[in-house]
Structure 1
Amino acid sequence: MLNYNSELLYTGSDEVLVENQEHYLSELRERLSELRELAKIEKDMISFEIARQIYRIVHSIKGSAPILGFDRIGSMAAQMISEWEWTQEEAEEPNARVSLRLQFKQSSQELVKLLPALEQELESGTNGIKSSNVQPHHRNPDIEMQLDKRILIIEDDHILRTYLARRLFLDGYQVDEASNVEDAITLLRVHHYQLITLDLMMYPKSGYEIFEILKEDMMIRWIPMIVLSGRDDIRDKVRCFQMGADDYVVKPFHYDELCARVRRLIERNQEFNFMAFHDPLTGLFNRRYMDKQMQLELSRVNRYPSPISMVILDIDYFKAINDNFGHQIGDMVLQSFSNLLISKLRKSDMVARWGGEEFMLIMPGTRDTEAVSLVESILTHVREHPIFADNRRNTFITFSAGVVQWRPQCSIAVWTRHADFALYKAKRTGRNRVVKSSLRNSVAKKILVVEDDRVLRRMIVEVVKGCSEQVLEATNGLDAYEQLTKEEIDLCILDFNMPNLDGLSMLRRVGQEGNVSKRTKFLMVSGNESHHNMKTAITLGADGYITKPFTFPDLKKKVMSLLQLR
């Protein structure tokens, strides 16, 4: 551990350390004066809150003094704080006033005995600082690459907070500081952080309370966190790890050790993030990342209104490329197309491989007309230039794309569904084009899935969730018919063979009784390819027919087609 007169003080970070030592000793004088006043308060003024205030002050000195090179001051504070540990127990009971006063008096007496020695050590520390010998120090240019790594320090001791911030800055990190939960939450919602350090003992809200808020917030709960605490207590450590902490460092700590932990945790998290959030073939972000990023982007747009557009595009006839030239060429086409998208988009735009030959773009600060213009320029490029070329062939492609600009109050599911609808329209009207859709005055579609096979029903529900925010379920014909008469259903996916009331019988009843909305469309699902059954279903009012076994993409296309016809 460093001492204030140690030669170790005059290394590369002398300027930061000495400046913070001077500030710290100035503040320490004020803290010792405050302790002396608190220890002498009238007995009628004694309370647990006053006792805990003394504990917090001494606890802060114990943790921060050695970090700044004042080991002996830290040791004296540790001796002091042992007399005040009782303040960390449960709050007083109404009949505990006498016991409180007695404990306070005993602890105050020990505090007053130790204060003169601590004040003498303070003066020695002041005389030991040789700031005139310290030369200004600047960031090492060899570590500039760290600047893409941003850290948030949440710490109410402003001297320690400033010291850590400046040391981390000199080590190449971007650093923001927060002294309370409100400032921390504001910063977390404005910036993207790679790591948080959290002081466990803060006031008025403890680190535990802040911890709860941070980890419950969808936007920030995945950020790595190091807890800094002056309490080397196994219960605190276990509790923090159970709440989601990634590391626990006890004050006082050596800065170099903390910095090594920070660096390794950031590097490890970035490695994990790359594996979890990137497509291994193309290197683009994957669907998991984009789902999370859309939530973050819309949270920002809700706070700071600005346009944002989504594009879903699909390479036309990609299956033919795989069939005619092999999957190796198909993979190269996907990789080349991914590189092209990255080269044509702005740094603020995000691109992900959405699945198979589908890609998604999220374009902050972009209106739908601007997005259409950019995507059409990319489409023009791939029409005129081969996406892949070797000694034997030039491979050209085209793609279809759907573009939608987000509107206030629109959910991610509805936003994505409309982009999907626009893509489907582009493909249905000839491919090789970009289609724009609008969310203005859009109404969420409601789908009813009627299937008595629980496993198949759940799988169908998962497929159609991408087409509608509201998906209802029924396990038999009678329950389904009752729902149809009570709610405005846009599409009913109806199994042919159902208990109580089969599919054909339901269609007949709907036609005879007229209690179901005229807007409701019916997609009949059957395990029988009988032409007679199909014809009967269509005659009775079915709008579509699909035969088991079917692929889920085929089912989705049928559903989207029926909803789009509305």
Structure 2
Amino acid sequence: MSKIMGKDLFIKETKQSLEKMLVTLRKNASLEGEEAAAIRKQFFQMEREALRYGFKELSHLSRVSKSVFICDMNKYLLPQYLEGVLLSLIAEMMTLVEHPNEIKHRLPKVHDESIISLLRSFNVESGTKTVLIIDSDLLFLNKVSKVLSEAGFHVEKANRGRDGLEKIAKYCPDCIVINTVMTDIDGHAFIAELQKETCYSFVPIIVISNNQKLSGKLEGAKLGADDFLTKPFVMDELLIRLHRLIERNERIKKQTLLDELTGLYTRKYFLEKLNYYFQDSNESEFNHSVIIFDLDYFKQVNDRFGHAMGDKVLVTFANFISSHIRESDVFARYGGEEFILLFPRTTSEQALVRLDSIREKFSKININVGQETINQTFSGGIASKDDMNIERPEDLIKFADIALYEAKNSGRNQLLIYKNYMKSKKRSLKILIADDDAFIRKVLENELAEDGWELLFACDGKEALESAKENSPQLILLDVWMPIFNGYEILEKLRSDIQFKQTAVIMLTGNNSEKDVANALNMGADDYITKPVSMDELKARIKRLLRYQYQR
């Protein structure tokens, strides 16, 4: 009985203390000295007493409130920018002591513990996933974070939208859980800000709403959320939806952002990330380095051991580099045997030191190719943002490419930093002409050679596919009727391979049937031209399509 009386008295005294604090805070523009120390001491006592009487949430909030005060020159003070935070914490504590049942009602609980075990296994098998939770309700935030951590997730928390955006850029979460009500930014503005960065467009978003009416769900749908929940809810719901969305997102990323062969990022994703580091206000002031790699004499590997063994060498290289770089670095396949790497906040000299050690280690690895073992080397060019006062990300890639050309031209198996004396290699765009008619191939060769394009030729479907895979052309002229595989079959195979999703394809045929034209365009052809070919028209169409290709 005495404990109950003590508990009631504690609640009454706590309420009075909090009300006095509010009066003090509202009277003073800032708090320091004896007043700040006195209030901090009250939070200390409140933390200890709350734990004694079983108020775990109140004890936690008291501890957080105590940490808001800063000790400067042996005096405590409350910085003005933290005053709003403290007011929110006190308001939360007032709710807790006045309506304890309401607090318990809004904190989600787990009903089925087996879900926790399932997700823990999921995070072990597929790699720990990161979840970011943004909610101004600190008790809810901490409760959900604790459960998700138990389920094996890496959890990041933010109680303000701007903090959330910074953490998204820093941690690249696998899922975002966000309450539409935030103290500093509206939910619509938050997601609009997020959607400016294309590389985050695949990150699933679960919206938590305080609105239990249908309008709360409509709000989530308007925001472009992948799923939504209304408070109160049981944690089981959130856990199941997180699992489903992250698994779905992994499948989408593999299909669109990852190179099918190596599992690395695609060039498109790399360029988006590089653009982010140039434009984001928090990153644009720092130095960033780009490195372009090229496997030395790789054509000889394909010619001698076949494309399957060549693919094995590419995968071995990709895995080796990936295992020796930081999580924040961005590594992508740039095309064929070329790879590209972004070292954020790294100078070219620092990049050279790190990569030279990696290059030396890789050259000593024995790679089994059939019955033989080979050692593969690579060359690389490095360019750094501040070395040349570069303003555009594409210039950084261009200079790294020039340094790569210099490294290969002066002996290979080395890394060079771009210098002004290095000369640019004139890279011609590759066009693959796949046609079984030798006369047509010769005509096209004579007419197109003068435009400076690098022309490749194939006389049947199998040869066309092999040449495309080996050379990564920017454009393919594809005859509809060829031996082994016809043009439609080749087109289908090309478009099913992520390497050729963006490759321009023009179909060539002697048949002007509208049905055939529609069929080719529906299957993914970019253009269609009938024989006999008007060379002026063909050149105009080629130039139009190549304008959309990366100028490599």
Q: TM-score, normalised by structure 2?
A: 0.51
Identity of aligned pairs, percent? 29
Which amino acid in the other structure matches residue 255 of structure 1? M
- Select the residue among 304, 317, 323 that pairs with 2:297: 317
Q: Which has the larger radius of gyration?
A: 1
Residue in 2 that maps onto 1:261: 241
Residue in 2 that maps onto 1:541: none
Separation in structure 2 between the aligned mates of residue 25 and residue 362 of structure 1, nearest angstrom: 42
Where 2:232 maps in the other structure, the secondary structure is coil
Kindly indicate whether the alpha-carbon contact (under 8 Å) linking 1:147 and 1:173 is maintained by their aligned counterparts in 2: no
Kindly indicate whether the alpha-carbon contact (under 8 Å) linking 2:309 and 2:369 is maintained by their aligned counterparts in 1: no
Where 1:278 maps in the other structure, the secondary structure is coil
Kindly indicate whether the alpha-carbon contact (under 8 Å) linking 1:386 and 1:395 is maintained by their aligned counterparts in 2: yes
Q: How does 1:22-41 map to 2 (within 5 A)?
A: none
Kindly indicate whether the alpha-carbon contact (under 8 Å) linking 1:229 and 1:250 is maintained by their aligned counterparts in 2: yes
Separation in structure 2 between the aligned mates of residue 315 and residue 147 of structure 1, nearest angstrom: 29
- Select the residue among 382, 391, 414 that pairs with 1:403: 382
Kindly indicate whether the alpha-carbon contact (under 8 Å) linking 2:277 and 2:283 is maintained by their aligned counterparts in 1: no
Separation in structure 2 between the aligned mates of residue 346 and residue 157 of structure 1, nearest angstrom: 34
- Select the residue among 62, 66, 78 that pairs with 2:105: 66
Kindly indicate whether the alpha-carbon contact (under 8 Å) linking 2:108 and 2:232 is maintained by their aligned counterparts in 1: no
Is 1:148 the counterpart of 2:187 in the alignment? no
Name whichever of 404-413 and 353-362 sits farther off.
404-413
Separation in structure 2 between the aligned mates of residue 173 and residue 439 of structure 1, nearest angstrom: 48
Residue in 1 that maps onto 2:5: none
Which amino acid in the other structure matches residue 173 of structure 1? F
| Number of positions where the alignment pairs a residue of Structure 1 with one of Structure 2 | 343
Give the CA RMSD over aligned residues.
4.8
Residue in 1 that maps onto 2:373: 394
Separation in structure 1 between the aligned mates of residue 356 and residue 231 of structure 2, nearest angstrom: 58
Which amino acid in the other structure matches residue 292 of structure 2? I
Separation in structure 2 between the aligned mates of residue 25 and residue 368 of structure 1, nearest angstrom: 46
- Select the residue among 212, 218, 239 that pairs with 2:192: 212
Where 2:343 maps in the other structure, the secondary structure is strand
Which amino acid in the other structure matches residue 168 of structure 1? L
Residue in 1 that maps onto 2:403: 422
Q: TM-score, normalised by structure 1?
A: 0.50
Residue in 2 that maps onto 1:136: none
Where 2:260 maps in the other structure, the secondary structure is coil
Where 1:148 maps in the other structure, the secondary structure is coil
Separation in structure 2 between the aligned mates of residue 343 and residue 189 of structure 1, nearest angstrom: 22
CA gap 1:253/1:25 in 2 versus in 1, 3 angstroms: farther
Separation in structure 1 between the aligned mates of residue 253 and residue 102 of structure 2, nearest angstrom: 33
Where 2:264 maps in the other structure, the secondary structure is coil
Residue in 1 that maps onto 2:225: 245
Residue in 1 that maps onto 2:352: 372
- Select the residue among 219, 225, 247 that pairs with 2:205: 225
1:465-522 per-residue CA deviation (whole Å, 9 max, x = no partner) reads xxxxxxxxxxxxxxxxxxxxxxxxxxxxxxxxxxxxxxxxxxxxxxxxxxxxxxxxxx
Kindly indicate whether the alpha-carbon contact (under 8 Å) linking 1:402 and 1:421 is maintained by their aligned counterparts in 2: yes
Which amino acid in the other structure matches residue 437 of structure 1? Y
Residue in 2 that maps onto 1:413: 394
Which amino acid in the other structure matches residue 68 of structure 1? L
Separation in structure 1 between the aligned mates of residue 358 and residue 176 of structure 2, nearest angstrom: 40
CA gap 1:354/1:62 in 2 versus in 1, 3 angstroms: farther
Where 2:136 maps in the other structure, the secondary structure is coil
Separation in structure 2 between the aligned mates of residue 69 and residue 239 of structure 1, nearest angstrom: 21
Structure 1: stretches of 5+ with no match in the other structure: 1-14, 27-56, 71-139, 446-455, 462-526, 529-545, 561-566
Separation in structure 2 between the aligned mates of residue 549 and residue 368 of structure 1, nearest angstrom: 38
Residue in 2 that maps onto 1:83: none
Structure 2: stretches of 5+ with no match in the other structure: 1-50, 63-94, 110-118, 427-447, 454-534
Is 1:353 the counterpart of 2:320 in the alignment? no
